[in-house]
């Protein structure tokens, strides 16, 4: 579309927001955008409608169809209401749980969602204050609700907010429900949104739900006796200004950890995230204050969670006593190894247990699972797909853990989204158990590599903002498909998987086969002779194209670790050069 045509289309769209269907403040802001000589902001705000991605609705706050505001949130909730009324028409009372994080406007959007649901005759359970995403998932299942809403933009910068929609199993919506909800949302006009609620249908959820959630989390513990012996280990915890503060210190204390050390500056609940540029435990800069506190207090562990407390990051001390940050793959590796090892020791493995990983998560967790007789299933990126596997196997097999490289892990089946609360409890427990076995966590990680093989992973995100950025990302994906890479870091590419076509091309056997997946996804994977794996995908929730690099080698002993690790770094450097990133 020519720029001129686009501007005409956007201007016409924006002018519809000047009618009295919209409030005075909104009209004023839209008029200001129309009056500006530079039309970039106007175009960005109106050139498209926000859509559900892998994590729901997410975008920059502001006026416009491509922004998060009371009307896009309202339209999403009205569309969800319309769909629920059709899907559950036989029920006397449809129920929906609503939670929110610490972000600017999150409480307002949560209350508006409750009003709209109640205006449609749907009972809304609204948490009294901010709460973690996994607790919303827990409450949906606990209350027998048909759906849930979490107002959050997860780990995104402060200008963002978002809306995660959940189904009756406590998981984020998957096909066909996500597409059907979108269709309903697209049919909603602003005059159809029922903003005036029914107070009788809004119930506030209080601390009783927290207590029930914590009581169930305690049942996950596999080494309570180790925690009794070593519950005083120093653990620094930062919620990065978010919801984890409301539950994690309390939950850990309930499980026997007596030395939880706070980072007071980051205990300030604020959507401005005053101490960090990005409130993401994946970002080393976000962990800096907590690491400093760890050094000052001689703590053994440092934990961090993102604003809605579904992502969990950890730092442990190496053999020199220095803190090192674990990546998401390493965290998952330690957790999966521990759960399987302990369940084996306790005689709790019956042969029906299974684990789950996403297609961009390290294959090493699969090796650990399968060598211990536990089947591991593979699914798309996004925790809703892990939950989808759990839904399919409900009542047939026993889920014992699953996760993804992006700092998400779920140990329990009574929640259906990644859960930093259970991850924090278990990680503390693992440190205590390792002590009982005469090891540090660092030594335990090295021993896993010695036994199962060494891998190193690196994730790289290339940010491309706005409309032109989206076009650039599309062009990059097209180029990787049309001009496939033949060699990566000196190793021949032997397998290419394209999840858009659901075709895999085995270049060694010169054979093509179909990938068994529930739907298509814009992901491309290259595998080489030496087991190097590169996955490429545009983010579903952010203006980024993501590259996931995984290299493998052998580690014969702990003594070789530094050399093997350094060689892996060099190899990853070469992979990046070959990819042009």
Separation between Cα atoms, residue 286 and residue 216, nearest integer Å: 30
- The string of DSSP codes covering 460-471 is EEEE--HHHHHH
Distance CA 382, CA 402 (A): 12
Tally of CB atoms within 10 A around 519: 12
* Cβ neighbours around 311 below 10 Å, total: 28
One-letter-per-residue 3-state SS of 180-208: HHHHHHHHCCHHHCCCCCCHHHEEEECHH
Q: Are 248 and 309 in contact (CB under 8 A)?
A: yes
What 3 state SS string does 84-103 have? HHHHCCCCCCCEEEEEECCC
- Dihedral of the alpha carbons of 246, 252, 254, 256, in degrees to the nearest 10: -160
| Set 113, 154, 226, 362: catalytic member | 154
Which DSSP letter does residue 53 get?
B
> CA-CA distance, 278 to 261, in Å (whole number)?
22
How far apart, in whole angstroms, are the C-alpha atoms of residue 529 and residue 129?
52
Helix (H, G, I), strand (E, B) or coil at 354: strand
Question: To 5 degrees, how large is the angle CA 67–CA 71–CA 75?
Answer: 105
Q: In 10 A of CB 151, how many CB atoms?
A: 29
Q: Give the residue from 158, 53, 144, 162 showing the smallest Cα distance to 99.
A: 162
Catalytic residue check, 154: yes
CA 87, CA 153: separation in Å to the nearest integer? 27
Distance CA 315, CA 502 (A): 38
- 571, 558 contact by CB (below 8 A): no
Coil vs helix vs strand at 161: strand
User: Could you give the CA distance from residue 539 to residue 54 in angstroms, rounded to a whole number?
Assistant: 8
| Residues annotated as catalytic (active site), given as ranges | 154
């Amino acid at each position: 579309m020519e720029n001129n045509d686009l501007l005409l289309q956007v201007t016409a769209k924006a002018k519809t927001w000047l009618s009295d269907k919209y409030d005075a403040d909104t009209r004023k802001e839209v008029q200001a955008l129309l009056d500006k000589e530079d039309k970039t902001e106007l175009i960005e705000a109106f050139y498209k409608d926000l859509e559900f991605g892998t994590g729901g609705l997410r975008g920059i706050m502001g006026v416009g169809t491509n922004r998060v505001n009371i009307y896009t949130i309202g339209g999403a909730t009205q569309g969800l209401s319309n769909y629920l009324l059709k899907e559950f028409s036989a029920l006397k009372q449809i129920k929906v749980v609503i939670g929110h994080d610490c972000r600017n406007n999150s409480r307002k959007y949560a209350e508006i969602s409750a009003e709209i649901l109640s205006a449609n005759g749907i009972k809304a359970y609204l948490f009294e204050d901010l709460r973690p995403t996994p607790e919303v998932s827990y409450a949906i299942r606990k209350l027998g609700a048909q759906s849930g809403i979490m107002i959050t933009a997860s780990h995104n910068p402060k200008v963002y907010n978002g809306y995660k929609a959940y189904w009756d199993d406590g998981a984020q919506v998957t096909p066909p429900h996500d597409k059907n909800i979108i269709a309903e949302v697209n049919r909603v006009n602003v005059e159809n949104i029922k903003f005036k609620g029914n107070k009788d249908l809004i119930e506030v959820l209080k601390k009783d739900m927290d207590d029930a959630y914590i009581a169930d989390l305690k049942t996950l513990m596999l080494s309570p006796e180790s925690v009794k012996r070593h519950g005083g280990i120093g653990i620094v915890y930062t919620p990065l200004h978010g919801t984890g503060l409301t539950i994690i210190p309390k939950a850990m204390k309930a499980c026997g950890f007596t030395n939880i050390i706070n980072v007071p500056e980051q205990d300030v609940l604020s959507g401005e995230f005053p101490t960090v540029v990005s409130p993401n435990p994946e970002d080393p800069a976000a962990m800096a204050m907590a690491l400093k506190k760890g050094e000052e207090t001689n703590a053994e562990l440092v934990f961090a969670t993102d604003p809605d407390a579904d992502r969990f990051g950890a730092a442990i001390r190496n053999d020199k006593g220095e803190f090192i940050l674990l990546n998401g793959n390493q965290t998952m590796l330690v957790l999966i190894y521990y759960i399987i090892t302990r369940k084996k020791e306790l005689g709790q493995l019956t042969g029906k247990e299974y684990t789950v990983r996403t297609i961009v998560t390290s294959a090493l967790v699969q090796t650990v699972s399968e060598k211990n007789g536990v089947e591991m299933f593979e699914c798309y990126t996004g925790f809703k797909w892990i939950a989808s596997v759990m839904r399919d196997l409900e009542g047939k097999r026993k889920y014992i853990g699953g996760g993804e490289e992006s700092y998400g892990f779920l140990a329990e089946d009574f929640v259906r989204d990644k859960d930093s609360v259970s991850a924090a409890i278990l990680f503390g427990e693992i440190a205590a158990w390792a002590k009982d076995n005469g090891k540090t966590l660092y030594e335990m990680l090295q021993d896993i590599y010695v036994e199962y093989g060494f891998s190193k992973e690196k994730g790289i995100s290339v940010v491309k903002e706005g409309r032109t950025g989206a076009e650039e990302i599309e062009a990059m994906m097209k180029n990787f498909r049309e001009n496939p890479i033949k060699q990566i870091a000196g190793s021949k590419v032997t397998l290419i998987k394209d999840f858009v076509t659901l075709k895999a091309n085995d270049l060694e056997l010169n054979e093509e086969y179909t990938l068994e997946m529930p739907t298509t996804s814009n992901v491309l994977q290259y595998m080489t002779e030496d087991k190097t794996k590169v996955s490429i995908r545009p983010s579903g929730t952010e203006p980024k194209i993501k590259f996931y690099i995984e290299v493998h080698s052998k580690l014969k002993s702990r003594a070789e670790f530094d050399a093997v690790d350094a060689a892996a770094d060099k190899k990853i450097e070469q992979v990046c050069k070959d990819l042009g990133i």
